[in-house]
A and B are shown apart, each in its own frame.
Chain A
């Protein structure tokens, strides 16, 4: 999973998220999306969807 996306895909993601950042942000966003995708794929290597991530919330 390279995480690299093209401009059209970025437009779709931004629209879905309700974001419209200026043009000069796009390159930085795309670079960071690629990095996050790589880290995301890596963490999923040991993910167990049935593991309970709940934390105690004191009354």
Chain B
């Protein structure tokens, strides 16, 4: 396979490495890629780092989600590029190069699961596994114009997934259609004794409904209505109008603590991420990507009280969201504040101000993953020059509602994946 967008860090040959493949499973005939922080037996899990490559620790077994896709008949094609240790929204990796956006190779794919999103967008695979701590599935899904699902915190097993921030890490996936997303998500569900932090939920298969249910949809205002470029507003209005046309009711909604939730996620990420890598930060700091290193070192210097405060804020904002879902079945916001920036662009202009790319591409995703709610980025087929996604958010454990709503939007031509076809 040719990898024109540097989406992969490793491409696997067909043959022995397909061990575990069930040829007649429900996903037979499909292929997938795994973000290079999922263990693949016999390979070093790079997590986008030079340090892991140098250490050379070979995974003894597949990550649970890799094994489950194989068991469903999906063929593993390779492992995908990412921001170092998943700390970033750009996939401009100083060790393994930049992943290019298949819709415009002069632009980033987003991150940190940028290689996975690009591989799906380019039609190189049907499905890709990713992880999302602060938006690392939803951001690249938005910029690459594919569907990206971040399930409820604790829904999918993280066994064999290289950690970033244990309190916030989610595993999830990308696909070009909601139907494919549903099939793969169903194959990934289910309790896993290897993951002590997983929620003990049974498999809850996605049932795609024949007609769009009349959902009560809230369009998030306040924090979510500021700081976005015109294309993000265009996409949001397009999907909101589309849902209304499908019979949903639309009303404004407010998650009052969203901005503070984002700040809390920001602090928790630097502090927990720094703690995870403390030993290497002390002994070989120059082996890190500089941007990752300096953020983690700063996180190590913050007072413990701040982390406790961030945890309390999580509970407070989660309670606000729970109350909001008494009035709404689904919430909408932009997935990203803009479409894909150019490679190397350090800042983006939003509402007349230059703001840093790496810190702000996930601003609308962070408050949602912080409180563990399931969310999907759907690619709006709106009048925008480049793809951009809209974030749909559901109550905890209601992933099926998200995928079903995405299915109806897709079928109605309101959302969809454009560009190369497999």
Interface positions of A (Cβ within 8 A of B): 13-14, 17-22, 25, 28-33, 35-36, 39-40, 42-49, 51-53, 58
B290 at the interface (CB under 8 A from A): yes
Pick from A19, A36, A42, A46: contact of B270, CB under 8 Å: A36
Interface size class of B (residues with CB under 8 A): 35 or more
A4–chain B nearest beta-carbon distance, Å: 13
Q: Mark B305-329, 1 if CB is under 8 A from A, else 0.
A: 0101111111111000000000000
CB-CB under 8 A from B298, the residues of chain A are: 28-30, 32-33, 35-36
Inter-chain contact A28/B315, CB cutoff 8 Å: no
CB-CB under 8 A from B257, the residues of chain A are: 46
Inter-chain contact B270/A25, CB cutoff 8 Å: no
CB proximity to A under 8 Å, residues B154-198: none
With A28-B294, A32-B295 as known contacts, state yes or no: A22 contacts B315, CB within 8 Å: no
A14 to B302, CA, bound (A): 11
Pick from B281, B302, B316: contact of A46, CB under 8 Å: B316
**Nearest residue, chain B, Cβ from A18:** B282
Inter-chain contact B302/A44, CB cutoff 8 Å: no
Inter-chain contact A45/B260, CB cutoff 8 Å: yes
Q: Mark B341-375, 1 if CB is under 8 A from A, else 0.
A: 00000000000000000010000000000000000
Inter-chain contact A43/B293, CB cutoff 8 Å: no
B267 at the interface (CB under 8 A from A): yes
Pick from A20, A25, A47, A58: contact of B294, CB under 8 Å: A25
CB-CB under 8 A from A51, the residues of chain B are: 312, 315-316
10 smallest beta-carbon distances between A and B, as pairs: A28-B294, A32-B298, A53-B311, A39-B263, A42-B263, A43-B263, A43-B264, A51-B312, A39-B266, A47-B309
A21 to B291, CA, bound (A): 14
B373–chain A nearest beta-carbon distance, Å: 16
A47–chain B nearest beta-carbon distance, Å: 5
CB-CB under 8 A from B293, the residues of chain A are: 21, 25, 28
CB-CB under 8 A from B294, the residues of chain A are: 25, 28-29, 31-32
CB proximity to A under 8 Å, residues B263-300: 263-264, 266-267, 270, 281-282, 285-286, 290-291, 293-295, 297-300
CB-CB under 8 A from B300, the residues of chain A are: 17, 19
B18 at the interface (CB under 8 A from A): no
Pick from B260, B263, B286: contact of A22, CB under 8 Å: B286
B165–chain A nearest beta-carbon distance, Å: 14
B31 at the interface (CB under 8 A from A): no
Inter-chain contact A22/B312, CB cutoff 8 Å: no
Q: Give me 20 A-to-B residue pairs in the complex whose CB atoms sit less than 8 angstroms apart, sorted by A's number.
A: A13-B301, A19-B281, A22-B286, A25-B290, A30-B298, A32-B295, A33-B301, A35-B298, A36-B267, A36-B270, A40-B263, A40-B302, A42-B259, A42-B263, A43-B260, A43-B261, A43-B264, A46-B313, A48-B316, A49-B312
CB-CB under 8 A from A45, the residues of chain B are: 260
Pick from B260, B286, B312: contact of A42, CB under 8 Å: B260
Inter-chain contact B312/A48, CB cutoff 8 Å: yes
A17 to B298, CA, bound (A): 11
A48–chain B nearest beta-carbon distance, Å: 6
B200 at the interface (CB under 8 A from A): yes
A21 to B285, CA, bound (A): 7
* Besides the known contacts A19-B301, A46-B317, A48-B312, 16 further A-B residue pairs in the complex with CB atoms under 8 A apart: A13-B301, A21-B281, A22-B286, A25-B293, A28-B295, A31-B294, A33-B302, A36-B266, A36-B299, A36-B302, A40-B309, A42-B263, A43-B264, A43-B310, A43-B313, A46-B316
B3–chain A nearest beta-carbon distance, Å: 32
CB-CB under 8 A from B270, the residues of chain A are: 32, 36
